């Protein structure tokens, strides 16, 4: 296979090496990148790691021509390049595979691949042949005439990669490619990447998953707060060293507080199963118990059933099985009744599920609680009550806003999230469902939100915490369960579990090196 | 890993079997219609006269439906088709009187396209909600054509037409085509009233006897639409704008330009439909003569699942029911039986799929129609004029499951929302 | 809200419609000029002071337009396009006139019964579209348009079959004179009377406004219109909301012609005023679905219609030119609002960022000082 791939490699074209020197980029109010220096050797897999907000996305956009750097140079094989648009980057041989796929479900693979590049091979049989050629060369297994919506996530990603290869990319940037993949798909992807490297392509792999990075990368560069802070050799560096480079200091160790877990069960789910319209099981026989004063953390790769679990508890989806809240059977209850019974919900996607962006903050305070005081009295909305309580939340949760009449849209993500946390923790909930509660939130706000959750836990709140941030899970949870493909596959004690153990369970029990 | 060839052959064979099933369905439907005709003796159902009237009613609906397809495939909902068709009626009448029938057609198309341009401006550039813009456009178009008719048609009187404040009749028509030998043979075949062959004769007669040039163009446009949208670069890019404009933008497609092109084309199609109304199917221009065909066209588009072949079938169906208004009430009466049979078949299909409640409801309706057929011998005229609207509702209510709307249809698109 | 912000907000609210009206008159004038007629004649007739009789007509018409727009606006707030107001009020008016003509109740109580019947019929007819939407996913835009045609045809059939002959047309049994409302004649009797039941418009406006802004139901309705996913997460039963909103919208639509029925017509037949449904939709869009805006819009449209009547006689221009103005006003106001919204959203964000940057700089300065 490798021999065949080498025969297919761009004949006579040398692999691309990229030098990034001193790149700086400013936006109003924030410096996204400053003094970024990276050397990417030709025909290697180079990993760029860093936390959310480290500046990786901005750098990528500069490399791909979506943004222009304010300072610094980019050289490809020694020649300086300036990109005014993605087309310039594409012409120079750069291709980008976005984290959020840019694919049209109702179009075929062929149509998605040829869109915008119809001049290369047309949109008929010649294009079809080229797609099959690339697919066979790297083992993608893609049929040009299949509709995108019939493809799973792993196959869609391969379509994205095929898109860039079709346009002659020799330097491929992959943005968090494994974020939505299950373990087998990750393995398959890495196989593909190795094939690509063997045939002379250069790959820039952006991630914050340390295990994977060590498994596939030839070189590692670490970014933090907008700049490059170090390089590492994947063969010798340890995860702890990498993590410390990323975070900048010692990892937070789980604080040993006194346990507040009581023996009263608040949420009890037995045999919960959810089947989608095609008959696939999104949740399989989930058995879950959360006690008063307990934080149960759910760890797992995104897309393994977390969203479905949350929606089932909230009554937004119809699952089979039994579910009780404080002893009462709530299986037949709608979302409103469950909320009135005291379930608070911090949604994963705040814009989608948590806010009315074009409404003032005090009306957003009412959202989700419109049948409860202080927002409502009788069948009416208590405007004075809602406004007063919004002032309180703004104070207690440090929501930065000029007034409570500001539209939610104008607030930053972090402040929006603080408002939502404040809202959901008001009214003495008995169960709080927190899905990625500190996503997109700055470090200070994150610590504040954690403190609020811990305080409420001391007062007897039961919390279901879903997060992709292992530090958050370990730091907050009393117990951790791992979800994989809709099933709970393992329980861990945060005091003793290591990120390796959790990572292994989340990815299906595969062993990771050292 | 060469699963590619295996999957490729699977997909083409499903494609073939799907086309086969379609043909089988059409054959069964035609057979049932013919049988009902022979049993009830209502030969008017598929007489060449009836089918010619149906064809005449189909063309404007088809143009509206095609217009809607072009626009929605690019992601813009065009409720303003009705108004654009109105503009086409006025433009065609004005052009036919002052210049000639073919110039009238062109002017009708141009006026419709202008309406489309206004809709594109409002929705694509200014981000106005598509429905709101369409509704406003319809109001403007009605007012404008009414006003322009009174301003320009009132005092016209010559061999080119006779005008009044609200109409312009006696206009020159575009040419009509008759294929002599085939036409006569088909009419003869139709008059034999034989099972299946008689119906075929009626259809061929309708297609070859005094068929307007615009009708021929209309059918050609269906084929052209299918070819352009599915086999050219422009068409692929246009469709991508309606499926995922952010993805299209990220690949270098000029989404705004394609949306504009699609909506202007959409208006042009509606304008052509209007020209047909004013110059072919009516004695001339009359104020507000579109009668809801713009909306029925949209229903035909949905029925046709946003594909040209389906749109053609849907338009034919709605055109046929629209032409019923002019038919003998006993013909319509016979169609009650046909409707009952159709509903009965639908009910049986639902029951077989296990949907007992839906099957029972539909079955009850089928029984009601059988009763209606048995207990009366004619249908009141007002009811027949309601048929296209009731049919639209029924079709939309029962056919919504297999529909695949363009994914980004109706979305307000903002440039730069990619990545 | 502080007074400066309030004035600015009012200004923004009035600015867009004012610009839109100016643009609409300009466009209409251009078209009139191109048709060879005199623009000064047009504007002269349009802008002349209304006579007392005109004023009476304007107020009466405005009340009906207001009801029509109110009905449409209830749907619009939920992102439901109830284009079926026309058919709903046609059917409701027929049913109400039929029942009132039967004189089942003594004197003016017939009006109460008729109003109840009208709201029920209008509500049910609109409810059909709502049910089709939630059970079968049928777009309410097309279904309401189809229901319009069906309703109008059905009433025509019923009139032809069961109506009594009256001159050239047909009508339902007329109301007895004690069932009619005399109205209030503010000027000479020849100037006409303001319909008593025009007050329904005011009552409906207040009630609906209160319902939407102050009740939980209203909050749910507005939330669903703003962000359906968030509404679902907040516990709203969207399907139920859709059906209830459509029924409410149709019920208000049923009221549209009641002032005329009990104030001047006395039966359903030739005096029935068509087109109010579609005009109401335009007024709702013009008034941005807010009762106050709708009131101004209804007054504007009524004024335009009334002033346009003598255009044919006095200036030789078709009164339908005013329809162009109305259509353009709607389109222009929607565009103007969009432009204003984008501009003010950008300003709000810039101001916010500036204030946050300033706060951050101040904090940093403090740190440096204390360090």
Task: Delimit the domains of chain C by residue range.
Answer: 1-37+317-371, 58-314
Q: Which residues from A are below 8 Å from B11, CB to CB? A: 143, 145-146
Chain A contact present for C344, CB below 8 A: no
Does the beta carbon of C152 lie under 8 angstroms from any beta carbon of chain B? no
The mean per-residue pLDDT over the stretch C223-233 comes to 90
Class of A254-342+428-514 in CATH: alpha beta
User: Which chain C residues are Cβ-neighbours of B292 within 8 angstroms?
Assistant: 145, 149
B-C C-beta contacts closer than 8 Å: 139
- Asked whether the beta carbons of residue C318 and residue B295 sit closer than 8 angstroms, the reply is no
pLDDT of A69 strictly over 70:
yes
Q: Which stretches within A199-275 are classed as H helix?
A: 210-216, 239-247
* β-pair type (A487-492, B284-286): unpaired
Q: Which chains pack against B, by 3+ Cβ pairs within 8 A?
A: A, C
- The ipTM estimated for the assembled molecules is 0.84
Facing C233 at nearest CB: one of A334, A353, A358: A353
Among the four given CATH numbers 1.10.3470, 1.10.730, 3.30.1330, 3.40.50, the one describing domain B42-316: 1.10.3470
Is residue A18 over pLDDT 70? yes
Which structure tokens are listed for A143? Answer: 């049929």
Question: What subunits make at least 3 CB pairs under 8 angstroms with C?
Answer: A, B
* Contacts with B419 from chain A: Cβ below 8 Å: 61, 66, 98
> Given pLDDT bands bounded at 50, 70 and 90, which one contains residue C94?
very high
Residue range A148-167: mean pLDDT, rounded: 90
Over range B303-327, report the average pLDDT: 86
Are B389 and B292 within 8 A, CB to CB? yes
**Residue C124 above 70 pLDDT?**
yes
pLDDT for position C11: 65
Q: How far is C189 from chain A (nearest CA, A)?
A: 45
Nearest-5° Cα angle at C139, C135 to C145: 120
**pLDDT at residue number C9:** 67
Give residue A57's pLDDT: 79
pLDDT at C190 over 60: yes
Would strands A431-435 and A343-346 be described as parallel, antiparallel, or unpaired? parallel
List, as one string, the DSSP characters of A423-465: HHTTT--SEEEEESTTTT--HHHHHHHHHHHHHHHHTT-EEEE
Instruction: Let me know: does B139 contact B80? Beta carbons within 8 Å.
Output: no
Domain limits, chain B: 42-316
CATH of domain A2-247: 3.40.50.300
A/B interface, count of CB pairs below 8 Å = 84
B341 close to A (CB below 8 A): no
- pLDDT above 60: residue C371: no
Question: In whole angstroms, what is the distance from residue B49 CA to residue B72 CA?
Answer: 34
Q: Which two tokens mark B402?
A: 């297999």
Chain A CB within 8 Å of residue C230 CB: yes
Question: Which of B9, B127, B233, B417 has the highest number of chain A CBs within 10 A, making it the mutation to test binding with A?
Answer: B233
Contacts of B275 (CB under 8 A, 6+ apart): B88, B89, B91, B92, B104, B105, B108, B109, B214
Instruction: Give the model's pLDDT for residue A85.
Output: 81
Q: State how far the alpha carbon of C277 is from the alpha carbons of B184, B201, C290, in Å.
A: 50, 46, 17
pLDDT score recorded for residue B15: 56
Alpha-carbon torsion, ordered B280, B285, B288, B292, to 10 deg? 0
Q: How far is A365 from chain C (nearest CA, A)?
A: 11
Beta bridge partners of A296: A464, A479
Give the mean pLDDT of C149-158: 90
What is the C-alpha separation between A499 and A17, in angstroms, rounded?
34
**Domain C58-314 CATH (choose: 1.10.3470, 3.30.160, 3.30.2320, 2.60.120):** 1.10.3470
Greatest C-alpha distance within chain C: 97
For residue A273, the cross-strand partners are A320
* Mean predicted confidence (pLDDT) in C131-155: 89
Give contacts of A352 with chain C, Cβ < 8 Å.
227, 229-230
* B146 contacts C320 by C-beta, under 8 angstroms: yes
3-state secondary structure of B294: helix
Least confident of A12-26, A94-108, C90-104, C342-356: C342-356
C67: which 2 tokens?
Answer: 């009801």
Q: Tell me the chain C residues in contact with residue B127 when contact means C-beta distances shorter than 8 Å.
A: 338, 342
Contacts of A103 in chain B (CB under 8 A): 244, 247
pLDDT tens digits for range B44-95: 777 888 888 899 999 999 999 999 999 999 999 999 999 999 999 999 999 9
Q: Which residue has the higher pLDDT, B321 or A126?
A: A126
> What is the residue whose two structure tokens read 């610590």?
A447
Quick: pLDDT tens for C34-48. 888 888 888 888 888
A339 vs C233: CA distance, rounded Å:
10
| Any B CB within 8 A of A277 CB | no
In this predicted model, what pLDDT tens digit does every residue of B245-262 receive, in sequence order? 988 988 888 999 999 999
The C-alpha of B124 sits at a distance from chain C's nearest C-alpha, in angstroms, of: 11
C338 inside 8 A of chain B by CB:
yes
Task: Please tell me the distance in Å from A300's CA to the nearest CA on chain C.
Answer: 23
pLDDT at residue number A11? 39
Binary contact (A118, B406; C-beta < 8 A): no
Percentage with pLDDT > 90 across chain A? 25
The answer on pLDDT for B11 being more than 50 is no
What per-residue confidence (pLDDT) applies to B270? 97
Show me where the domains of chain A are located.
2-247, 254-342+428-514, 355-427
Confidence of residue B242 (pLDDT cuts 50, 70, 90): very high
When the pLDDT of each residue in chain B is averaged and rounded to a whole number, the result is 85
**Which candidate from C285, C325, C335 shows the least CB-CB separation from B126?**
C335
B251–chain A nearest CA distance, Å: 5
Residue C205 is predicted with a pLDDT of 94
**pLDDT-derived band at B225, boundaries 50, 70, 90:** very high
Restricting to B residues 394-413, those with a Cβ less than 8 Å away from any Cβ of C are 396-398, 400
Q: Interior CA angle at A253 toward A248 and A255, to 5°? A: 135
Nearest CA distance, B393 vs chain C (angstrom): 6
> Of residues A279 and B383, which shows the higher confidence score?
B383
Nearest-Cα residue of chain C relative to residue B393: C143
**Residue A257 has what pLDDT?**
66
Identical fold for domains A2-247 and A254-342+428-514, yes or no, is yes
**Residue B32: its pLDDT value, please?**
80
The number of CA neighbours under 13 Å toward the Cβ of C20 is: 29
- Across the range B269-294, mean pLDDT stands at 92
Q: What percent of chain A is predicted at pLDDT more than 70?
A: 89
C217–chain A Cβ distance below 8 A for any pair: yes
> What confidence score (pLDDT) does residue B401 get?
61
CA distance C370 to C364: 10
The pLDDT tens digits for B136-191 are 999 899 999 999 998 888 888 888 888 888 888 888 888 888 888 888 888 888 88
- Per-residue model confidence (pLDDT) at position B199: 80
Is pLDDT above 90 for C202? yes
Q: Alpha-carbon distance A336 to B196, whole Å?
A: 59
* Cα(A110)–Cα(A459) distance, integer angstroms: 58
Among A32-41, A490-499, B104-113, whose mean pLDDT is lowest?
A: A490-499
8 Å CB contact of B140 and C160: no
pLDDT surpassing 50 at residue A10: no
The mean pLDDT of B24-46, rounded to a whole number, is: 79
Question: Which of residues 62 through 101 in chain C touch B, CB cutoff 8 A?
Answer: 81, 83
Confidence of residue A349 (pLDDT cuts 50, 70, 90): confident
pTM for this one?
0.84
């Amino acid at each position: 296979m490798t021999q065949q791939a080498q025969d297919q490699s761009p004949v006579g074209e040398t692999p691309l090496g990229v030098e990034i020197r001193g790149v700086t980029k400013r936006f109003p109010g924030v410096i996204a990148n400053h003094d970024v220096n990276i050397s990417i050797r030709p025909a290697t897999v180079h990993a760029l790691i860093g936390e959310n907000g480290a500046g990786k996305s901005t750098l990528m956009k500069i490399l791909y021509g979506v943004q222009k750097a304010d300072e610094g140079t980019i050289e490809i094989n020694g020649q300086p390049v300036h990109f005014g648009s993605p087309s310039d980057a594409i012409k120079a041989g750069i291709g980008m595979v976005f984290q959020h796929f840019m694919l049209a479900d109702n179009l075929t693979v062929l149509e998605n691949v040829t869109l915008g590049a119809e001049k290369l091979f047309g949109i008929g049989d010649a294009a079809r042949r080229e797609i099959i050629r690339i697919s066979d060369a790297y083992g993608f297994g893609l049929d040009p005439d299949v509709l995108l919506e019939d493809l799973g996530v792993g196959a869609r990603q391969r379509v994205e990669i095929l898109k860039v290869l079709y346009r002659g990319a020799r330097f491929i940037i992959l943005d968090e490619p494994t974020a939505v993949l299950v373990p087998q798909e990750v393995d398959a992807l890495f196989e593909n990447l190795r094939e690509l490297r063997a045939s002379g392509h250069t790959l820039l792999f952006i991630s914050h998953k340390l295990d994977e990075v060590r498994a596939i990368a030839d070189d590692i560069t670490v970014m933090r707060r907008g700049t490059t802070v170090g390089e590492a050799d994947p063969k010798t560096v340890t995860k702890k060293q990498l993590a410390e480079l990323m975070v900048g200091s010692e990892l937070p160790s789980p604080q040993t507080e006194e346990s507040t877990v009581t023996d009263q069960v608040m949420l009890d789910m037995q045999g919960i199963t959810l089947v989608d319209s095609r008959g696939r099981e999104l949740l399989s026989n989930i058995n879950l118990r959360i006690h008063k004063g307990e934080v149960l953390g759910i760890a797992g790769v995104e897309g393994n059933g977390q969203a479905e679990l949350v929606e089932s508890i909230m009554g937004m989806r119809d699952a089979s099985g039994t579910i009780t809240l404080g002893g009462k059977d709530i299986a037949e209850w709608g979302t409103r009744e469950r909320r009135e019974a005291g379930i608070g919900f911090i949604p994963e996607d705040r814009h989608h599920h948590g806010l009315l962006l074009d409404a003032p903050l005090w009306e957003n305070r009412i959202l989700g609680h419109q049948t409860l005081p202080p927002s409502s009295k009788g069948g009416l909305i208590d405007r004075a009550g809602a406004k007063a309580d919004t002032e309180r939340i703004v104070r207690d949760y440090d929501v930065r806003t000029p007034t409570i009449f500001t539209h939610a849209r104008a607030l930053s993500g972090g402040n929006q999230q603080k408002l939502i946390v404040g809202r959901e923790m008001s009214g003495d909930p008995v169960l709080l469902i927190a899905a990625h509660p500190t996503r997109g939130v700055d470090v200070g706000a994150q610590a504040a939100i954690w403190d609020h959750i811990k305080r409420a836990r001391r007062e007897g709140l039961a919390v279901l915490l879903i997060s992709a941030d292992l530090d958050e899970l370990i730091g907050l949870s009393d117990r951790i369960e791992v979800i994989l493909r809709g099933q709970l596959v393992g329980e861990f004690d945060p005091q003793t579990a290591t990120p390796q153990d959790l990572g292994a369970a989340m990815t299906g029990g595969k062993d990771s090196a050292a | 890993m060469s699963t590619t060839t295996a999957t490729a052959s699977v997909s083409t064979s499903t494609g073939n079997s799907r086309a086969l099933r379609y043909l089988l369905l059409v054959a069964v439907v035609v057979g049932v219609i013919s049988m009902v005709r022979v049993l009830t003796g209502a030969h008017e159902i598929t007489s060449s006269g009836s089918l010619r009237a149906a064809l005449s009613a189909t063309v404007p609906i088809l143009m509206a439906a095609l217009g809607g397809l072009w626009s929605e495939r690019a992601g813009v909902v065009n409720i303003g088709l009705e108004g654009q068709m109105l503009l086409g009626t006025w433009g065609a009448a004005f052009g036919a009187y002052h210049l000639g029938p073919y110039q009238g057609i062109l002017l009708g198309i141009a006026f419709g396209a202008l309406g489309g341009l206004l809709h594109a401006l409002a929705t694509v550039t200014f981000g106005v909600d598509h429905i709101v813009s369409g509704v406003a456009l319809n109001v403007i178009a009605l007012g404008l054509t009414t006003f322009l008719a009174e301003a320009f048609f009132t005092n016209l009187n010559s061999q080119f037409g006779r005008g009044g404040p609200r109409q312009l009749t006696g206009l020159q028509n575009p040419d009509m085509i008759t294929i002599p030998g085939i036409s006569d043979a088909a009419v003869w075949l139709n008059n034999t009233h034989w099972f299946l062959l008689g119906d075929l004769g009626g259809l061929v007669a309708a297609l070859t006897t005094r068929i307007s040039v615009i009708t021929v163009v209309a059918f050609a446009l269906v084929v052209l639409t299918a070819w352009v949208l599915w086999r050219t670069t422009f068409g692929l890019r246009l469709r991508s704008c309606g499926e995922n404009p952010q993805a299209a933008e990220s690949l270098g497609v000029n989404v705004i330009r394609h949306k504009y092109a699609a909506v202007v084309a959409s208006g042009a199609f509606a304008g052509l439909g209007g020209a047909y109304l004013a110059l072919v199917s009516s004695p001339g221009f009359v104020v507000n003569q579109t009668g809801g065909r713009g909306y029925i066209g949209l229903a035909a588009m949905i029925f046709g699942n946003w594909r040209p072949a389906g749109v053609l079938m849907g338009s034919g169906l709605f055109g046929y029911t629209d032409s019923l208004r002019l038919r003998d009430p006993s013909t319509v009466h016979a169609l009650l039986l046909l409707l009952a049979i159709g509903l009965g078949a639908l009910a049986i299909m639902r029951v077989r799929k296990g949907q007992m409640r839906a099957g029972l409801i539909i079955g009850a309706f089928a029984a009601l129609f059988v009763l209606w057929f048995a207990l009366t011998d004619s249908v009141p005229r007002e009811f027949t004029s309601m048929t296209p609207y009731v049919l639209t509702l029924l079709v939309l209510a029962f056919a919504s499951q297999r529909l695949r709307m363009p994914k980004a249809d109706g979305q307000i698109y903002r440039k730069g929302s990619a990545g | 809200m502080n007074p400066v912000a309030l004035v600015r907000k009012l200004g923004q609210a009035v600015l867009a419609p004012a610009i839109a009206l100016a643009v609409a008159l300009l466009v209409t004038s251009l078209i009139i000029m191109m048709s060879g007629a005199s623009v000064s004649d047009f504007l002269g007739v349009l802008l002349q002071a209304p006579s007392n009789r005109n004023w009476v007509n304007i107020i009466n018409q405005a009340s009906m337009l207001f009801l029509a727009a109110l009905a449409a606006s209830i749907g619009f707030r939920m992102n439901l396009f109830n284009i079926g107001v026309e058919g709903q009020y046609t059917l409701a008016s027929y049913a109400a006139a039929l029942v009132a003509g039967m004189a089942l109740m003594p004197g003016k109580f017939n009006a109460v019964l008729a109003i109840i019947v009208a709201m029920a019929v209008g509500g049910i007819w609109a409810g059909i579209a709502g049910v089709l939407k939630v059970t079968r996913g049928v777009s309410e835009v097309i279904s309401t348009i189809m229901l319009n045609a069906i309703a109008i045809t059905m009433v025509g059939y019923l009139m032809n079959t069961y109506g009594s002959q009256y001159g050239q047309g047909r009508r339902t049994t007329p109301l007895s004179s004690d069932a009619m409302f005399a109205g209030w004649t503010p000027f000479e009797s020849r100037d006409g009377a303001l319909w008593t039941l025009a007050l329904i418009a005011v009552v409906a406006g207040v009630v609906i406004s209160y319902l939407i802004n102050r009740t939980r139901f209203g909050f749910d309705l507005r939330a669903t219109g703003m962000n359906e996913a968030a509404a679902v997460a907040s516990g709203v039963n969207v399907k139920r909301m859709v059906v209830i909103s459509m029924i409410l919208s149709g019920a208000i639509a049923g009221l549209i012609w009641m002032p005329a029925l009990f104030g001047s017509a006395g039966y359903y037949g030739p005096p029935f005023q068509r087109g109010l449904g579609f005009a109401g939709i335009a007024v709702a869009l013009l008034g941005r679905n807010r009762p106050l805006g709708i009131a101004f819009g209804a007054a504007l449209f009524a004024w335009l219609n009334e002033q346009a009547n003598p255009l044919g006689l006095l200036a030789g221009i078709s009164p339908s030119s005013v329809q162009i103005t109305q259509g353009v006003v709607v389109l222009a106001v929607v565009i103007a609002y969009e432009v204003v919204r984008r501009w003010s959203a950008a300003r709000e964000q810039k101001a916010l960022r500036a204030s946050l940057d300033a706060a951050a700089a101040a904090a940093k300065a403090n740190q440096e000082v204390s360090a």
